[in-house]
Structure 1
């Protein structure tokens, strides 16, 4: 098991580590990322290069040496172009059950653990960020236990320094009441990534007009139905890229894209790297959830 440093552009390497915890990526990136949302927590740290601008819902956030970004699940966000001045970024996309276990939080509590999106990086957090970045980029993932301990130390530090000290229990994972028709829609979308349903088709499936469905979905989930559909397709794409040797053209067809190039563009807009490079540099870390 190793991580290679073959660049996905002429001078833009990417290192990707996956496991039961989620995904950790060190990426040199200048391209923009479209607005999207996902079920995991995400933490962004600048390791080098230029500062970069993110739009998080209606809030503008700058990722700098001193400031990191913390996002709870289902928060819509996008990255602006860096005008060809790349940024070296550590991105942690952490599965909610793993994070809650690591922080010793109950399963039924609010998902809004991190109240501030732009946070000042504390010395302890920076120390662990540098450790995990070095472990990923210097081929230390062969030592599974060592790498996991570093990641656990970082998540513990994030919880201690940035999490809300008063956590609310007993609400749904999204922190919002979910209408039974929206629950039905979520289930339909999750089981139909190949069909790639439109928002109108999902609305008809649950007996709502498109406008009423859009309104109810955003009220319950905090994001648009299209962002949820895109997340399901991306999750399915990531799984196929990591768990199969299927040609990219076959994966594109399976996900409902008419052209291979459309899939490549869609994937790169969300991940910052094309699917071929994601597959080439992705390494699965074989560990059990804590």
Structure 2
């Protein structure tokens, strides 16, 4: 059974140490996402159409809003350090203003420096007494991975990496989804609400955002669930009901498929840094 060993939230975003033995379905994050193998059996990660192994030699870098999935080994759990880095935090800490948290490639060679930083960060997260020093390690690791991802490639400027939402119908649909996390009427009704057919709406939404409307809505619900787990004393059942799930079981299944572990386990170990 997949479980969380440590989860830390802060201005940087989120960092976690997981033991994973189940698949995480295709999903996306608004943060930059880094996955490092730290023990157990290697796993496969798919980013877009590219699927590769995540092991001691290779790590995974996922740009904001890039669809990806995690495929756990069948033999034994895979222990991973996973980071969710807020693009604005990364930009504010970067030496140059043109830095944007869009990685040059998804498959990263684990350099000796990356391996050392991963070891230090994972050890610090698992030891509560050293949690105070992880901010510097987080930026150093994220920045080094960013640099490695662009080696041998021309790096785009800050503005060229920003995805603009020029169509008001897409912006309106996103607003409607944010306002109706618990009472979402379905994508057909949403398409009609913004004046589009379902096929046109799906095509336009993906062109503008890089993800499907369903994937975007799942991301919103995952984020809201994590916020509630961290900031409220609501029961797991109530959190699920508030997000439109008919039962705790259906909410737990959704959360596990999109985050990797159960909401109960997440709440048990997560803390603010």
* TM-score (norm. length: structure 1): 0.87
Give the unaligned 5+ runs of structure 1: 1-8, 286-290
Alignment check: 8 A CA contact 2:106 2:149 kept = no
Name whichever structure is richer in helix by fraction: 2
| CA distance in structure 2 between the aligned counterparts of 1:221 and 1:172, rounded to whole angstroms | 12
1:36 and 2:36 aligned: no
Residue matched to 2:50:
59
C-alpha displacement at 1:125, in angstroms?
1.3
Q: For residues 94-133 of structure 1, give each alpha carbon's deviation from its aligned partner in whole angstroms, at most 9, with x where no partner exists.
A: 11101122224537x765x211100111111111111100
Kindly report which structure 2 residues correspond to 1:56-205, keeping only aligned pairs within 5 A, or say none.
Answer: 56-106=47-97, 113-142=102-131, 144=132, 146-163=133-150, 166-171=155-160, 173-174=162-163, 178-205=166-193
- Secondary structure at the counterpart of residue 68 of structure 1: strand
Determine the C-alpha separation between the residues in 2 that align with 1:197 and 1:78: 27
Change in Cα spacing, 1:12 to 1:194, as seen in structure 2 (3 Å) is closer
State the Cα deviation string for residues 8-54 of structure 1 (Å, max 9, x = none).
x5x95521011111110101111000111111100000001111111
* 3-state DSSP of counterpart to 2:128: coil
Give TM-score scaled by structure 2 length: 0.93
Give the aligned partner of residue 6 of structure 1: none
Whether the 8 Å contact between 2:41 and 2:75 is mirrored in structure 1 is: no
**Number of matched residues?**
271
Structure 2 contact 252–262 (Cα < 8 Å) conserved: yes
Q: Corresponding residue for 2:272? A: 284
| Contact 1:103-1:159 within 8 A present in 2 as well | no
Question: Counterpart in 1 of 2:218?
Answer: 230
Displacement of 1:251 in angstroms is: 0.7
Instruction: Give, in angstroms, the shift of residue 180 of structure 1.
Output: 1.6
Structure 1 residue 168 displacement after superposition: 2.0
Gaps of 5+ in 2: none
